[in-house]
Structure 1
Amino acid sequence: MERVAQTGSTNADLLARLAGGEHVGEGHWLVADRQTAGRGRLGRGWNDGQGNFMGSTVVHLTAGDPSPATLALVAGVALAKAVTAMAPGLDARLKWPNDLLVDGAKCAGILMERTGNAVVIGIGVNLVAAPELPDRPTAALAAKGAVLDRDRFAEALAIAMVDILWTWRQEGVDSIVRAWLPQGHPVGTPLRVSEQGIDGSFDGLAPDGALRLRRADGEVMLIHAGDVELRRPVEGN
């Protein structure tokens, strides 16, 4: 575990090291006390709050590995296991493909970036503070009654990641899907695929990790990538 007081982005740092020829081994984490240029999916900024977890690790792809896209599920399972192990009373749920929600509010996110045969996985967790976002509710674990030490959480996450990554390689994506589903939003949860404006309900995951979205007419669509949000019910008439 490598800790730095401040950096622009732990993901960007590891990508630069890899591009420069440095070997960053699997299981190594770069964790920052503060980030000045943290990023989420689709170029969104990410909170740099002191006391939150902001860290990145590397997976080196080898022949025979499952699809790299399914590493989002791997990271999600590891994240959920670390949070629920340290704060078992929380109603923490994974939202496909890469967020962790508590009571329906986003408390953590995952960003994957690839360079060559290496995938950098960045994870940000609102341990003590949460940013205000215009398009979704957010929460910090501390505000939900779970006060977690950043370094202890980092160690729990690193251990969980090694374990789930081994399962991914040795047992395949099916095992990861089975591990993800109990941690995810329940079947029937109303969802919207934001880019296409498609509404439906969660119908589990396909064997390859794709989202099964059941439309109102019963048709099931497979969503392999996209920004998926919980659909809020319409109030009143």
Structure 2
Amino acid sequence: MGSCKRQMIFPDIAGEIFYFSKIDSTQAEAKRKLDDAISVPFTIIADTQIAGVGRFERKWYSPNGGTYFTWATDYLDNPAVSLIIGIALANTLKKLIPGYDVSIKWPNDLIHHNDKIAGILVEKYDNSLLIGIGINTFDDKDNYKSIPAGEWTRDEIISTFFHTLSSPWKNSDFSIWESFFLYGFEPFVHDFMELTFPQGTEIDVIQGKQVTTGRFHRVGVNGEIMLNSDGEILRFLSGEVSIKLHT
């Protein structure tokens, strides 16, 4: 499971790039790199993961042909990190696949017609931030929904993601990531609302064994999801919370 380094045209924000043909998980390798005093930023990319994980330590199916990478960067204490990454990732796929219907499912998934196509895992480790991303670009149509085949390559998806994250955002002098560092999530609420499921969608908010049902109201300025439950607006931060859409 050795790595190799390649000269890639990636924005500086990605840092040093480490490639692996097969690995336990890109998150685990990023932690090993930090333990070895490798400075952030850097990015781990793998062809296959044999022990890929998502939120709540759930197994992430990672066959050859998928897109798996972890970006290690300076730590940022903000619960909306996964939402900002979701905005950048959704816009990446829209750039590469014109007309593709992709939505963000709060707090860390991308979906296409209610089918999960990508996931985001955010972890703090040794005062660094690890952002793991898995995208279904493999061919397993019988069991998993994947993004449409096209002219793009795996590395082009990753490169476009980093360019999206680091390029000037709309009419601002700052990139998405810089703006998020400076101003938090509030300037991005409208962007997120345009990319997520419609207001009024019936959802379950799940906290352990507790389930709260209501209708999606909006996301708040701190990235919290707001639920209208029998006329009462309830707020939930990501943390140990997940949601289920009613279809």
User: Aligned to 1:197, what secondary structure does the other structure show?
Assistant: strand
> What CA deviation, in whole Å up to 9, does each residue of 1:157-182 have, x standing for no partner?
12123332112013321113232121
Counterpart-to-counterpart distance in 2, 1:115 and 1:93: 29
**Which of 92, 96, 99 matches 1:86?**
96
Aligned-partner Cα distance in 2 for 1:90–1:48? 23
On the 8 A contact 2:34/2:126 being kept in 1, the answer is no
Change in Cα spacing, 1:112 to 1:131, as seen in structure 2 (3 Å) is farther
What is the rounded CA distance, in whole Å, between the counterparts of 2:55 and 2:100 in structure 1? 25
Rounded Cα–Cα distance in structure 2 between residues aligned with 1:164 and 1:78: 8
* Aligned alpha-carbon RMSD (Å): 1.9
Say if 2:204 and 2:245, in contact at 8 Å, map to a contact too. Answer: yes
Quick one: which amino acid aligns to residue 87 of structure 2? V
State the one-letter code of the partner of 1:181.
Answer: M
**CA distance in structure 2 between the aligned counterparts of 1:132 and 1:111, rounded to whole angstroms:** 25
Q: Partners in 1 of 2:133 and 2:114 — Cα distance?
A: 19
Provide the residue aligned with 1:140 in structure 2.
146
Query: In structure 2, what is the equivalent of residue 14 of structure 1?
Result: 30
Name the CA distance, whole Å, in 1 between partners of 2:160 and 2:142. 27
Structure 2 segments unaligned to the other structure (5+ residues): 1-16, 167-174
Which runs of structure 2 are paired with 1:108-123 in the superposition (5 Å)?
108-123=118-133
Q: 1:73 to 1:98 in 2, by over 3 A?
A: same
Q: Percent identity?
A: 27
1:42 pairs with one of 22, 47, 56: 56
> Residues 107 and 139 (structure 1 numbering): CA distance in 2 closer, same or farther, change over 3 Å?
same
Q: Tell me, yes or no, if structure 1 residue 230 matches structure 2 residue 242.
A: no
Instruction: Say how many residue pairs are matched.
Output: 219
- The structure-2 alpha-carbon separation of the partners of 1:186 and 1:107, relative to structure 1 and needing over 3 Å to count, comes to same
Q: Which residue of 2 aligns with 1:203?
A: 217
Residue type of the alignment partner of 2:236 = I
Name segments (4+ residues, structure 1) moved above 6 Å.
none
